[in-house]
Amino acid sequence: MVRLQNQFLENSPFAGDGTMVAVELPEPDVQIITSDGRSIPAHSRILASASPVVERLIARPQKRRSSDRKIHILGVPYDAVFLFVQFLYSSKCDKEHMEKYGIHFLALSHVYFVPQLKQKCIGGLAEQLTIENVVDILQLARLCDAPDLYLKCLKLLSNNFNTVEETEGWKFLQNHDPRLELEILQFMDEAESRKKKTRRHREEQSLYLQLSEAMDCLEHICTEGCTSVGPYDTDPSKNKGPCSKFSTCHGLQLSIKHFATCERRVNGGCLRCKRMWQLFRLHSSICDQTDECRVPLCRHFKLKVQQDRKRDDAKWRLLVRKVVSAKAVYSLSLAKRKSEDELRATTNYYRMGSFEI
């Protein structure tokens, strides 16, 4: 008993030095009984200040009159209980002990409401997650109301389900907790749906951005001229090198030349011309410089829209909004990237200046 008391006193937060604390603290007045029948002496005031649950247990009337009160902590190894009580004295827990008894500490900290230890356990167990123990820790996190740890377990399990499915922990869960199994499978299904939705959204944004770039490239060709196509009052042959502004410029020039000479376009039988026609229409829907615009058919499409307002296509209006939005977002991202690069260059300049000094 003296050895146990000294260990607690040495780790006590009240300790200035061992001798001083030994004089100040009274004799232990609580006995903590573990599953193997062994007892751990402790001080009721210290335990009560660290855990409101223990405080209520100590304050509960005893059936038998005795100088020492007894608190039973069962279902946990003696060493884990001893270290738990030591934490109530010192608020300290070694990493080695956390690795060995982390699961027991989480259960004890939840049952006896010790938030500081519980947070340490959540962080420690999150670092110890493996394929073999993820199911056990997930079940414990669910019982102990540890949502962050529970979510991390779900993600690890979901990403490695084929391997986890072969473990003993998963087989045990299937036989004894079908509700949790269903909850895990639902999470995996929702996660897969979110991935598909995100992937589809990215593909759509990429398409809208490509259309936005095509609009800029079309305006560039029809206003400035490029390698082989340009307005009537410019000589595109001067620019013999590949276009440095847009990667799609060469392909778009070929499409424009095809559109101008295609004989099947008149009868509406050329798919390539249909796409070019839609590109001109999309430009007209976005363009706000009708009188000055030099892109072919821009004014034509605007007049047609004014005449057929009642027949305006809702899907087409949505496409126009999406392309405009993608263009705005891309422009903002470019401006942000440019400002970050300028800030980084300025910072490096001053660093070099201070180094030279």
Record: fold of 2-128:
Potassium Channel Kv1.1; Chain A (3.30.710)
**One-letter amino acid for residue 270 of the chain:** C
**Rounded Cα distance, 91 and 117, in Å:** 8
Q: How far is CA 301 from CA 8, 144, 249, 267, 285, in A?
A: 86, 65, 23, 19, 8
Distance CA 130, CA 20 (A): 45
**176-180, 263-267, 273-277: the lowest-pLDDT one:** 263-267
Would you say residue 7 has pLDDT above 60? no
42 Cβ neighbours under 8 A, 6+ residues apart: 8, 28, 30, 31, 32, 85, 88, 89
d(CA 181, CA 187) in angstroms, rounded, equals 10
What percentage of the chain reaches a pLDDT higher than 70?
A: 79
Strand partners of residue 70: 31
Neighbouring residues of 43: CB distance < 8 A, sequence distance ≥ 6:
8, 25, 26, 28, 29, 30
What is the radius of gyration, based on Cα positions, of the chain? 36
pLDDT at 13: 41
- Least confident interval from 26-30, 124-128, 171-175: 26-30
Tell me the pLDDT of the chain averaged across its residues.
82
pLDDT at 22 over 80: no
Domain ranges of the chain: 2-128, 201-356
Architecture of domain 201-356: Up-down Bundle (1.20)
- Say if residues 170 and 164 touch (Cβ distance below 8 Å): yes
Look at 299 and 89; give whichever has higher pLDDT. 89
